[in-house]
Every structure is written in C-alpha cells, then in structure tokens.
C-alpha cells in the first residue's frame, strides 16, 4: 500500500510517515495513532468489533497467542462506548449563534450570504429580538455544561454594535457565577472603534478576521461596496487589536482557484505581518473563476506540507486547522460541525432558527422561530453525516464534511463533494503527521 493512503475503506485506517520518517497507523474507530508493526496493522484492519473470536483465531496462525491477547485487549479498551442519546423532545443548548446583522459594507465575490443580506428583509437584529432570543436560549440552557459558547455573526456583525453591547451585558448578568462563557466573533475587520475594542478585550473574545492573502488577491476578492480594496483596513485593525493586548485573533484565508497556487506565499506573508494564526478555508462557489479544481488540490498538497513544517519549526506561528486536529487527537474527541449538533441555537435577525449559518435565507432549512415559543424537536437535528462514504473514510472522526457545500454542488446535504473531501483530507493527514511528530519529539 502507498504511504498516506487508506489501507481499507472497510476499516478506516491511514498509514503514514511522520517528519522523522517513522511509520504509523491512524485508526479512526478508536481515533488513535499507533506505532507501526505487522501485528498492529493486522488487528486494526480486522473486524475486531464484530468478529473478535474469529479474528483472534486467524491471527493466532501468524503470531504468539500471548501477543495477540495483549494487543487485542489493549485495542478493545480504546474503542468508544456508544452512549444512548436521551429520549427527550425538548431541546437543551450550550451554545448560541446570533446573526445580529444582515448588512455588510463589503461585496465579496464569493459570498454565500448574498452580499451579507442572505436574501432576507430584516437587516439588523433589534435589542428586543436579541433579548427574546437570549431568554429563549437561557431557559433551555444545559446548566451542567462545562462552558457556554456565544457567537456573533453576520453580514458584518460590527455594523450592529449596539446589539452586541446589549447582548454581552445581558448574557454576562445571566451567566455570572453559573457557567463559564466563551465569546466569538467573525468580522471583515474594517469597522473598529474604541468601544468595540473595549468590548472585545473585556469579554476575552476569540476573533476571526477574513483576509485572503496578499493585498492584490484580497482586494479582488473582498472589495468595499464602492469597489475600493479592504486589505489595508483589515490589517490595520488586526495590528490595532494587538496593540491593545487582544491576541486571540485568527485570520481566515479563503482559498479560491486564482490564489491556490500562491497559498504558501500568502500564509507566510500574513505571518510576516504579525498575524500568527491562520485558518484555511475552501471557497464555496459554482463560478469557474473561483471554484477549486482537482488540479488545485494537487498543487496545494506540497504547499500544505511546507506550511506544516514551518509550524513545526517555529513555535510562534500556526495553522489553526492543524492546532484543532492536534487538540482533537490529544483529547480523543471527534470534530463537530454545528449542523450536526443539537446543542446549538442559531437565530437570524427575524427570529428564524437554522441548523447552519451558511444555509440562512433558504427557507427550506428553517426549523422554527423563537417567537413561536415552542421547543424544537430533536428529530429535526441529525447528529452525523447520513452517508456510507463518510462512515467508511479514515478521516471521519476529524472531518466535519459541510452540508452547505454538499448542497451547493450536489443538491444534497448528505452527499459529499469530492473536491472538498480531498481538500479536508490533505489538511487532516498533514495535521496527523504534525501532531505525531510533535508528540514523539516531546516538542511543543
């Protein structure tokens, strides 16, 4: 078998080399990485879950019985126990997503939100809307959750600074002393003033700023509504936040066909400007000018590998995607898309509830409205991708798929788009290699 390819689609195993040329196996069933040996490979590629006795009998023909028993017992303990889900029709949440603005001052060429309006008719969430939404969520909050997560989104959310400020004050009063809270915001970085700086800093926000690489590429992709480029303003805002001791900032770089061949240069340029964390995102567009192709995926492979090596060799820079995979692997956790979560309440400006922010505006995907004051049945939430291709893929524990991308390209939420799968597997495989090398070398 070729290093870096799936050993068996039935067993979801990836065979790979770390950066020191050591050979490992990643097993998605247990979400664990194993030092390679023939016996470990044979155990991982067998149907130990369903046919333990038969597998043991077959392996005993090749290996000493004591070795088989030891390895199989150890592996069996790593397999997750499937917990039955609560049989309750009442929604219980631990995260809240507020689309506070359906207005935007940019006109990004690939915007899935229709210039930030999502085709909806209420541009801004009001204070009353925000209070009603927060009350609805708080009444159904899982008070035993380790943490509550609140995300402000748009459009451009900072256009509605008044509602952000109100929501923060109201939420802090409700949650103080009850449950820790993490605040997040995604912004184009072109609107910033002293009040916003204070809100972001005092509430310890995790901030994502959209920047598409160098000034030329960014300005082509993300111009202001008058056609002017937004790069310099976004960079200045990031540097201003850092000057004010706000450091939990990630730049999200959307990869399009035009800039795919320059990804490595663009990331290094952003690192050089002092932006230490970069998240890589593949564009969702049907236009040939922007859509990522199979040839683009091929040219991204070496660039993504080189960026991982840069991160390995320099502690103060990172690719967010790789850090996420390392966190998930270290804690043996699955990646989680909000679309497949029944713990998140996502509400847009008029109170409509959706499962995914990228599907806002498409009424086919409205699952309720907070003004109806009714619980959303858990049956309306699917908790995993409903297709065999994902279930049989070695990356299924670390990949979230993307229902909106599936729907855009295949007109089916559950049918994976091959190019997006290949893009994710590039990132995940490199993330696994990086994590394994770091853990082996005891290097932070």
User: Are the C-beta atoms of residues 350 and 122 closer than 8 Å to each other?
Assistant: yes
pLDDT in tens, 55-99: 677 888 888 988 888 888 888 888 876 544 444 455 689 999 999
- pLDDT, position 82: 52
Question: How far is Cα 201 from Cα 195, in angstroms, rounded to an integer?
Answer: 10
**In terms of DSSP bridges, do strands 95-99 and 148-153 run parallel, antiparallel, or are they unpaired?**
parallel
pLDDT in tens, 177-229: 999 999 999 999 999 999 999 999 999 999 999 999 999 999 999 999 999 99
User: Are the C-beta atoms of residues 416 and 390 closer than 8 Å to each other?
Assistant: yes
- pLDDT, position 385: 67
Closest listed residue to residue 421, CA positions, set 403, 399, 404: 399
pLDDT in tens, 381-399: 566 667 888 888 999 999 9
- pLDDT, position 87: 43
Q: pTM of whole model > 0.75?
A: yes
Task: Write out residues in the chain with pLDDT < 70, as ranges.
Answer: 1-11, 47-55, 81-91, 373-385, 443-444
Question: How far is Cα 222 from Cα 218, in angstroms, rounded to an integer?
Answer: 6
Closest listed residue to residue 305, CA positions, set 139, 391, 431, 136: 431
- pLDDT, position 153: 97
């Amino acid at each position: 078998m070729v290093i870096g390819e799936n050993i068996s689609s039935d067993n979801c195993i990836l065979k790979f080399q770390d950066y020191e040329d050591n050979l490992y196996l990643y097993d998605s069933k247990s979400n664990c990485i194993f030092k390679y040996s023939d016996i470990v490979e044979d155990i991982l590629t067998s149907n130990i879950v369903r046919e333990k006795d038969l597998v043991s009998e077959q392996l005993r023909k090749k290996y000493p019985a004591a070795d088989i028993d030891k390895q199989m017992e150890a592996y069996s303990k790593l397999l997750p126990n499937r917990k039955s889900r609560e049989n309750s029709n009442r929604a219980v949440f631990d995260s809240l997503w507020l689309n506070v603005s359906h207005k935007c001052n940019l006109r990004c060429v690939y915007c899935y939100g229709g210039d930030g309006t999502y085709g909806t008719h209420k541009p801004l969430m009001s204070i009353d809307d925000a209070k009603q939404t927060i009350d609805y969520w708080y009444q159904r909050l899982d008070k035993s959750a380790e943490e509550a997560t609140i995300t402000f989104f748009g459009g451009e959310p900072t256009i509605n600074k008044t509602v952000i400020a109100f929501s923060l004050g109201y939420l802090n009063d409700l949650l103080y002393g009850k449950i820790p809270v993490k605040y997040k915001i995604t912004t184009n970085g072109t609107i910033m003033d002293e009040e916003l700086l204070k809100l972001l800093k005092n509430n310890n926000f995790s901030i994502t700023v959209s920047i598409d690489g160098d000034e030329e590429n960014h300005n082509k992709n993300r111009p202001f509504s008058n056609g002017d480029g937004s790069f310099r303003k976004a960079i200045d805002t990031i540097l201003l936040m850092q000057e004010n001791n706000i450091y939990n900032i990630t730049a999200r770089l959307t990869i399009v066909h035009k800039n795919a061949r320059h990804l490595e240069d663009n990331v290094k340029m952003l690192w050089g400007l002092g932006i230490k964390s970069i998240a890589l995102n593949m564009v969702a567009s049907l236009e040939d000018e922007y859509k990522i192709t199979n040839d683009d995926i091929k040219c991204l492979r070496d660039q993504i590998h080189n960026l991982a090596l840069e991160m390995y060799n320099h502690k103060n820079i990172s690719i967010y995607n790789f850090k996420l995979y390392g966190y998930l692997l270290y804690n043996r956790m699955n990646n989680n898309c909000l679309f497949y979560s029944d713990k998140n309440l996502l509400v847009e400006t008029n109170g409509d509830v959706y499962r995914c922010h990228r599907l806002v505006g498409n009424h086919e995907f409205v699952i309720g409205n907070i003004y109806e004051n009714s619980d959303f049945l858990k049956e309306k939430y699917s908790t995993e991708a409903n297709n065999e291709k994902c279930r049989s893929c070695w990356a299924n524990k670390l990949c979230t798929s993307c229902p909106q991308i599936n729907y855009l390209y295949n007109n089916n939420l559950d049918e994976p788009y091959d190019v997006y799968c290949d893009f994710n597997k590039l990132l995940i495989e490199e993330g696994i290699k990086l994590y394994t090398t770091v853990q082996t070398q005891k290097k932070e």
